[in-house]
Every structure is written in C-alpha cells, then in structure tokens.
Structure 1
C-alpha cells in the first residue's frame, strides 16, 4: 500500500513539474511542502535518460492495450461476460 501511495505522490510531482515551460522555472517553485533540495533531486530524476526511456516505453505499451479497464480483481472482459449471463 505504501509503495502505491509513494508512486502516486511521485506522479503528482511529475505532473507539477510538467506544468513549467523550463527547467529553471521549475527550480524556482518547488511543490507544496517539498524542500528546495528534495525538489531538485526529484526533477533531476524526471530529466534523466533512464526515466525518459522508461516513460516512453510505458506510454507505448499502454497504447497497445486491448483491454484498458478492470473492475476490482476481475478484468473488464470477464466482468462483461458475467453480465451477459445474468
């Protein structure tokens, strides 16, 4: 649970970083309750080659998904199949 929360928090940080037009502008305005030093460490990860490569691969893979929704522990297709027989 904690890892999912942390992942979601990092996602919020990245979305906030993307709102700026330049790297220097993002440096000047850290995210809420994040120290300037921690904010700098965060966006250094966002501009790293490893992060960009991973992000691009994830974007491409999610675009290839044929079934993009799930309802709890069941896939969306399984959920639809069960609705047909009710």
Structure 2
C-alpha cells in the first residue's frame, strides 16, 4: 500500500525522468512508449513523472503510452512547479 489513501501499487515503481532527458540522449518516442509498455506488462503499477522532465516531454509521452487500456493498470505520481535556476 502507498501512503494512507490505500493505493495498492507494485513494490517497485518506474521513475520516468530517463525517458525524456537527463541520462544520456533522449529516447525516441517509439522506444519510450515500448519501455513503458514493457514495464507495465512486467507488473510495474506505479509511475513517477514531473512537468520538469523535458520540460513536459515525460508527461506527453505518458499520455501517448497510457492509451488502449494501459492507464487503468497504473497509478501516476507527478511533481510540478520545479524550475531550474542559474545557480543550480
């Protein structure tokens, strides 16, 4: 269970920062969607993202990947309002 709301999710989740940027070259849209589908089909039911990743690229990819019944299989967590500053 996750938190006090009773959400039941897989013991391991998938952080989606890597599907759009930050760790090497960005994934192609096709590869990112395939990765998300593979994770869900393998039992991952918790995805974490942010509007900061890309910016917005991760959330847009999730929108495309979670069609055709995939959305009903996962819980999503997101963060927003994060901004980069010149001093880090």
TM-score by length of 1: 0.27
Q: Which of structures 1 and 2 has the larger relative contact order (alpha carbons within 8 angstroms, sep 6+)?
A: 2
TM-score, length basis structure 2:
0.27
Higher helix share: 1
- If you compute each CA radius of gyration, which structure gives the higher value, 1 or 2? 1
Query: Which has the larger strand fraction?
Result: 2
